[in-house]
Amino acid sequence: MINTELLFSYLDEKYPDAHCELVYSKDYELLIAVMLSAQTTDKSVNQATAILFSKYKTVEELAKADLSDVEFIIRHLGMYQVKAKNVIKIAQILVTQYHGKVPHDSEALLAMPGVGNKTKNCVFGELFNDPVLAVDTHMQRVAKRLGIACEKDSVEKIEQKYMSIIPKERVVKTNHQIIWFGRYFCKALSPECANCKLKQFCKNH
């Protein structure tokens, strides 16, 4: 069983400033960037959104964007044709139903195209500091290696298990820290186990 005190102090020591690596300056830009990040890297999304958001400067402009142009701008992202439609549709929903603002309402967000629970939680944690977790591939791998979750656990189960050990006030911060830990240290291939202070709890050893 993982020692949670050690886990949190190690994460604080390694990643005191862990944060969302998607670049955005407005709430709708974050929502769209997170939707675009499915099955692709934050770096690729940032490259695409730098062009997209400088060409379409407001959510109203994005709502009227030309589909083939958006497809071209985001063409290096996986599933870009579906995502391009989602970008425009999300912008249209925000403009017509929510005065151009991202609603702090789970049902409303989940009704938008391309928005699932992970995207919703990521946006709510980031924009509203809600104590919710976005469980991505890194969160899943780390949970299984550290015995926080079992190999067969679903994403929902992993989320529940994390929530049972992370104090509410540090959920958002810990979410970013574990994502960074998985992305840069406890990598899928060649994790840096020789220097890992959590080795004693790790199933890889």
Answer yes or no: are the C-beta atoms of 44 and 22 closer than 8 Å: no
Residue 89, C-beta contacts closer than 8 angstroms, at least 6 positions apart:
112, 113
Q: CB of 18: closest distance to ligand SF4 in angstroms? A: 16
> Under the rule (CB under 6 A), what is the footprint of ligand SF4?
145-146, 185-186, 191-193, 196, 198-199, 202, 204-205
Q: Which conformational region is residue 39 in: left (phi greater than 0), alpha (psi within -120 to 50 degrees), or beta? A: left
Distances (CA, A) of 15 to 29, 43, 110, 131, 165: 25, 19, 31, 19, 19
118 is catalytic: yes
Q: Which of 7, 94 has the CB closer to ligand SF4?
A: 7
Shorter beta-carbon distance to ligand SF4: residue 51 or 188: 188
Residue in 117, 123, 129 with CA at minimum distance from that of residue 173 = 129
Q: Which residues contact 130 (CB under 8 A, 6 or more apart)?
A: 121, 124, 172
Among residues 27, 120, 136, 173, the one annotated as catalytic is 136
Contact criterion met (CB below 8 Å) for 87 and 32: yes
Kindly tell me which of 72 and 184 has the beta carbon lying closer to ligand SF4.
184
Catalytic residue among 83, 118, 120, 173: 118
Phi and psi, residue 204, nearest 5°: -75, -5
Residue 205 Cβ vs ligand SF4, minimum distance, rounded to whole Å: 6
Min dist CB 80 to ligand SF4, Å, is: 32
Provide the minimum distance between the beta carbon of 199 and ligand SF4 in the complex, in angstroms, as a whole number: 4
- Give the nearer residue to ligand SF4 in terms of CB position, either 144 or 170: 144
Annotated catalytic sites, by residue? Answer: 118, 136
